[in-house]
Amino acid sequence: MTPDIQFSFGLCLVFILLVPLAIAGLALVNTGLGRSRSAAQAMTMSLCVISVAALAYFVCGFAAAGSPLSISFGGVGTSVVEPARFFFRGANALTLVVALLGVMSVGISSLIPLGASADRYRVGAACASTAVFAALTYPVFSFFTWHSRAGLFGAGSVGVLDSGGSGFINVVGGLTALSAAWILGPRHGKYPPKGMPAAIPAHNQVYVLFGCMLAWMGWLGLNSAGAMLYSSIRPEGAVLVVINTTFAAAAAALTSAITTRIRFRRPDASLIANGWMAGLVASSAGCAVLKPATAIITGIVAGVLVVLSVEWFELHLKIDDPCGSISVHAVCGIWGLLAVGIFAGSGTQFTAQFVGMATLLGFIFPLTYGLNWTLNRFIPYRVSLDGERQGLDLHELGADAYPEFVVHSDEFLQR
Amino acid sequence: MKLGGFLLLLSGWAIVVTALLVLHGHAVPAFVYAGFGVEVLGLVLVFRGHLPPSEDEE
C-alpha cells in the first residue's frame, strides 16, 4: 500500500466505525415510536436482528453480493478487490473493508422492517425473516448496484449511482417493511369498523429525537465511507459528503415542521423526526455528487414527501406503520435515487437511476414479499391477540421495560 | 388482484432488463420508462389488492 492509500484506508475505517451510531439511532427511533408495553421487546428484537443479519451476511450474504470488482480507493490508483467468498475466505484487507461496511449496512437495513411491524412481530419470526433478508434479498440488489457500474449491461453502460445506500440499504429495507406490514396486518384497534383510524401515540418522544441525533452521526460515517469505497472520492471530498448529508437532513426536518404546522396547526414531533431521517435517507444516493444547494432541495422535497406519505399510507391505504418506516426509507429512498438523476447527472445517468428504481420495484419487491409470505406460512409472524393486549414485553420476555410505571391500556382506542 | 399486480411488476422489470440487453441507442430510455410505467400500474394493483373491503362491500 502506498501512503496515500494507507491514509484513505484509515480514514474509511474511522468512517465505518461511526455507522453503529446509525444502527443505535434507528433502534431508538423504532422503540420510542412504539408502545411502552413493547419497549423492551423492541430493543431486544433489534439486537437479535442485528446479530442474525451480521452472521448471515458473513456466512453467505457477502459472497452472494459479490464485492465491487475493482475500486479506485479514495480516488488514489485502482486496487483489485479479491472476489467475495463464503465466510469471507481469502479476503484481502481491501475486501474486508468492503465486507465490514456491508455488515454495518445490512444491520441498518434489517432494522427498517421492525419499525413497520412494531407491537405485533414475534422475535423468532423476525430473526428468521432477517436471516433470509441478509443472506439473499439485500445482497441481490448490492450485486446489481455494484455490477451495473462495472458493465453488467454491456461495456460503456452507465450504472446506478448510489454511494451511501438510498437504494440498496433503505429502499430494500423499506420494501421489506411494506411486505411485513401487509403480512402482519394492523395492530388491534387501529382501524375500527367505523370512523377514523385510532391514533396510537409514541411512548417516548425523547428516545425518538435522541435517536435522530445518533442516526445523524452514523449517517455521516455511512455516506462518507460509501462515497470513498463506491464512488471513488478522495479523502478531502468527504467534507462535501458531510455538508450534503447535514444540509439535506436539516432542510427536511424544517420542511416537515412547517408542513405539519400548516396541516395540523402544530408541529408534530414524530413527523419532524421522520423528516430528519427522510433527509438523511434521501441524501445518501447523491451525497458525493450533489452540490449543497441541490442537497437542500433534495431535503426539502423529502420533508414534504414524508409527511404526505405517512398520512396517505395510514388513512387511505390502511397500512399500519407505527414508525413511518415505509415512508422514510422506501418512499424517500426512491426520491433520493431520482434526485441524483435530476440534479447530478446527464440524461444517461437519469435513465440509469430509473433502471435502479425499476429493479427495486419490479424485482426486489416481489422477491421480498414472496419470501416473507412463504416464511409466514411456516413461522407465523404475528403474536396472538392476548399477547398483543398484554404487551410484547410480558408476553415474549416475561418482564416489562418499565416495571415501576403505570403501563397504559387501550384507553385511546375506540370501543 | 395482488397476484396480477406482482406479475405486472415483474413484467415491467423484464421489459427494462430486455431493453438494456437487446437494444442500443435512443430506444433504450424509451423502453426503460415504458417498463417503469408498467411497474407503476402493477403497484397500483398490488395496493388496491391489499385494501381491506369497504363497509359497502362487506
Q: Which residues pair with A382 in a beta bridge?
A: A121
Please list the residues that pair with A71 across neighbouring strands: A79
Q: Is residue A113 very low, low, confident or very high in pLDDT (cuts 50, 70, 90)?
A: very high
Grid cell of A335 as nine digits: 426520491
Q: Report residue B42 CA to chain centroid gap.
A: 4
Is some CB atom of chain B closer than 8 A to the CB atom of A312?
Answer: no
Residue A192: CA atoms inside 13 Å, Cβ hemisphere, count? 12
Residue A242 located in a structural domain: yes
Specify the amino acid at residue A411: E
Q: How many CB pairs under 8 A join A and B?
A: 63
Please measure the distance between the N-terminal and C-terminal CA atoms of chain B and give it in whole angstroms. Answer: 18
Question: Of A191, A206, A223, A232, which Cα lies nearest the Cα of A75?
Answer: A232
Give residue-wise pLDDT tens across range B23-45. 888 888 999 999 999 999 999 99
- Inspect the interface and report whether the beta carbons of A153 and B20 lie closer than 8 Å: yes
The reply to whether A22 falls in a domain is: yes
A341 has pLDDT over 90:
yes
| Phi, psi of A288, rounded to the nearest 5 degrees | -90, -15
0.90 exceeded by the pTM?
A: yes
In this structure, the number of other CB atoms found within 10 A of the CB of residue A350 comes to 18
Tell me which residue of A270, A289, A70, A249 sits closest to A162, measured CA to CA. Answer: A289
Of A78-82, A110-114, A327-331, the one with minimum mean pLDDT is: A78-82
Query: Would you call A318 exposed, middle or buried from its count of C-beta atoms within 10 A (0-12, 13-18, 19+)?
Result: middle
Nearest to B35 among A318, A347, A358 (CB): A358
- ipTM of this predicted structure: 0.95
pLDDT over 70 percentage in chain A? 91
Domain boundaries, chain B: 2-49
What is the model's pLDDT at position A142? 87
Indicate if the pLDDT at residue A383 is higher than 90: yes
Which domain CATH number covers A320? 1.10.3430.10
How many structural domains are present in chain A? 1
Q: What is the pLDDT of residues A182-240, one digit of tens each?
A: 999 999 989 988 878 888 889 999 999 999 999 999 999 999 999 998 888 888 999 99
Residue A264 falls inside a structural domain: yes
Does residue A45 contact residue A108 with C-beta atoms inside 8 Å?
Answer: no
Which residues 13-52 of B are in CB contact (within 8 Å) with A?
13-14, 16, 20-21, 28-29, 32-33, 35-36, 39, 42-43, 47, 50-52
What is the separation of C-alpha A108 from the centre of its chain, rounded to a whole number of angstroms? 6
For an interface test with B, give the residue of A143, A182, A355 to mutate (most B CBs within 10 A).
Answer: A355
Tell me if chain B has a CB within 8 Å of the CB of A143: no
| Residue span of the structural domain in which A322 resides | 7-390
- β-pairing, A70-71 vs A79-80, is antiparallel
What secondary structure letter does DSSP report for A383? P
Q: How confident is the model at residue B16 (pLDDT cuts 50, 70, 90)?
A: very high
Counting DSSP H helices and E strands in chain A, the numbers are 17, 2
Instruction: Tell the residue number behind the cell numbers 411485513, with chain if given.
Output: A180
C-alpha cell at A322: 407505527
Strand runs labelled E in B1-58? none
Which residues partner with A121 through β-bridges? A382
Distance CA A99, CA A71 (A): 14
